[in-house]
A = this chain, B = another copy of it.
Amino acid sequence: MNQETITKIEELKEYLKKIEYLSSTIALLHWDSAIYMPKEAIEYRSEMMGYLSGESYKLTTSETMKAFIDYFHGKDDLDDLTKAMVENIRKEYDHAMKIPEPEYVQYEIDKALSQSAWEEAKKKKDFSIFKPHLAKMIAYNKKFSEYWGFVGNKYDGLLDLYEPGMTTERLDVVFGELRESLVSLLQRINNSKIKTDDAFLKGNYSVESQRKLGESILGKIGYDYEKRGRIDESEHPFTTNFGNKDVRITTKYDPSDFRPAIFSMIHEGGHGIYEQNVSDELTGTSLASGASMGMHESQSRFYENILGKSKAFWSYFYPEFQNAYPELNGVELMSFYRAINCVESSLIRIDADELTYSLHVIIRYEMEKLLIDGEVDIDDVPRLWNEKYKEYLGVTPENDAEGILQDVHWSGGDFGYFPTYALGNLYGSQIFNKLKEEVPDWNQKICSGDFASITKWLKENVHQYGATLKPAELIKKVTGEELSAKYFIAYLNDKFGALYEV
């Protein structure tokens, strides 16, 4: 690169920093709204956030930004980091600029109406209230995807928002394989003579000790909740960050069950570890974050499930829990391990166990494909949903609230997001497979509470790169292979096959 190009890169980074400052600020305002903001502040807070989002939009779509994009366009002597950076901003620019502004403004208005209609519909368990809004959200998203250049494969344009480069063609293969194996494994489990029960885990668990146990786990697995993060309580657990030195997670405590808080802390801790481990050098490149939603989910789910629901993990932490909760003294480790890995077909995605969870996601993926690229009568949507639940999970919703209306996503126009949840499971186990090769004594380490080398391996192989690599490039670089369902399938068959002796 010549001196002019180098100078231009520095200028672009200075410019991108401003956008980062604004998004960090908006994220902090969100964090505060969800946790500490007094109730009556909501209206003024929305105005503040609206103003800041507008400023951020202006910077993302400015003439200055256009000039940067034009300058770097077609230059072939750029280093990889700059290439990734330029591609990223060009994509964001296009996403914003290709939708006519009046249409986008109207979309934002209709979205707000749609969200409140969904709330009402769910409360009243009545799909018909939400139906016209869902139809509108679908129509908008189809059109947007066409604007972005996806015509015959509009759903790919939406997938690409959350999982850059991912396509229906690829997902059909991996999700198809996964679905078949899961349905078959689930049937075997349902027919197993081994029945598990987790009701005995309900009890009386002080919030204070849940907090301490959670902190103990998070400290061990490598999420820094003191100097570079913090843990708060909110209605729904989430992770947010402002740079890589201020990465905050939240959880929600249930005094009658420690599992929601502990597992959501480990889950959000996984997201948090990823963000804390992104290389400092990526600040101001628009790439200082996870590679994709799916890759992010791979880390949260690795820590929550593969690690956090393993026997090795609990052989280390269980005595600490027994110490905090003497009622567990009568429960053997193996019974505890069975209880936290209880498999049961259910109707609600967010309550699903590790095994059935992906089936809930696959149902949504198949529905979204139909809604965006297929021909489907909007009236048939609840019926189609219910048929898939019956077919894959063997259960049928009694009403729309526990069926088609359960998730908020579609009401906010978020199509293409769901698949990232299941992709996380695939990436996670494929990466774990490699990790096991390179850290052969991983099981022994976990049993003895030594998580440092595991998190270090993930930092070096995954986290540090941020979004400099596309998810497909990253999985190839880490594991030497394309994305595959086989590792997750094998992992589930091993784990649950052993648990249920099937």
Contacts and interface: CB of A to CB of B under 8 A. Distances in A.
A200 interface: no
B245 A51 contact: no
Contacts of A44: 24, 242-243, 245-246, 283
A245 B40 contact: yes
A299 B5 CA distance: 59
Interface in A40-85: 40-41, 43-45, 47-48, 51-52, 55
Contacts of A245: 38, 40-41, 43-44
A228 interface: yes
A32 interface: yes
B51 A230 contact: no
Nearest to A50: B21
A324 interface: no
Number of copies: 2
A52 B21 CA distance: 8
Nearest to A32: B28
A226 interface: yes
Contacts of A246: 37-38, 40-41, 44-45
A39 interface: yes
A193 interface: no
Interface in A211-250: 224, 226-230, 232, 242-243, 245-246, 248
Contacts of A342: none
A18 B50 CA distance: 11
Contact of A229 (B18, B24, B38): B38
A45 B224 CA distance: 18
B21 A228 contact: no
Contacts of A47: 17, 21
Contacts of A28: 28-29, 32
Interface string A267-309: 0000000000000000100000000000000000000000000
A229 B47 CA distance: 18
A185 to B, nearest CB: 42
Contacts of A52: 21, 25
A333 to B, nearest CB: 35
A17 to B, nearest CB: 8
B41 A242 contact: yes
Contacts of A32: 28, 32
Nearest to A225: B38
Contacts of A55: 55
A226 B41 CA distance: 11
A52 B55 CA distance: 11
A475 B18 CA distance: 44
Contacts of A248: 38
A243 B45 CA distance: 9
Nearest to A230: B38
A237 B27 CA distance: 26
Contact of A40 (B24, B39, B228): B228
A229 B41 CA distance: 9
A230 B36 contact: yes
Kindly name the residue among A41, A229, A243, A248 whose own CB sees the greatest number of chain B CB atoms within 10 A: A41
Contacts of A227: 38-40
Contacts of A37: 246
Contacts of A230: 36, 38
A239 to B, nearest CB: 14
Contacts of A40: 227-228, 245-246
A25 B48 contact: yes
Given A18-B51, A24-B48, A228 B41 contact: yes
Contacts of A51: 17-18, 21
Contacts of A41: 228, 242-243, 245-246
A75 to B, nearest CB: 29
Interface in A139-172: none
A29 B32 CA distance: 10
Nearest to A243: B44
A242 B48 contact: yes
Contact of A25 (B25, B36, B43, B242): B25
A19 to B, nearest CB: 10
The 8 A-B pairs at the shortest CB distance, nearest first, are namely A41-B246, A44-B243, A40-B245, A21-B51, A21-B48, A39-B227, A40-B227, A40-B228
Given A17-B47, A38-B246, 7 more contacts: A21-B51, A25-B48, A28-B28, A36-B230, A44-B242, A44-B245, A48-B242
21 contacts: A21-B47, A21-B48, A21-B51, A24-B44, A25-B48, A25-B52, A28-B29, A28-B32, A38-B227, A38-B230, A38-B246, A38-B248, A39-B226, A40-B227, A40-B246, A41-B243, A43-B245, A44-B242, A44-B243, A44-B283, A48-B242
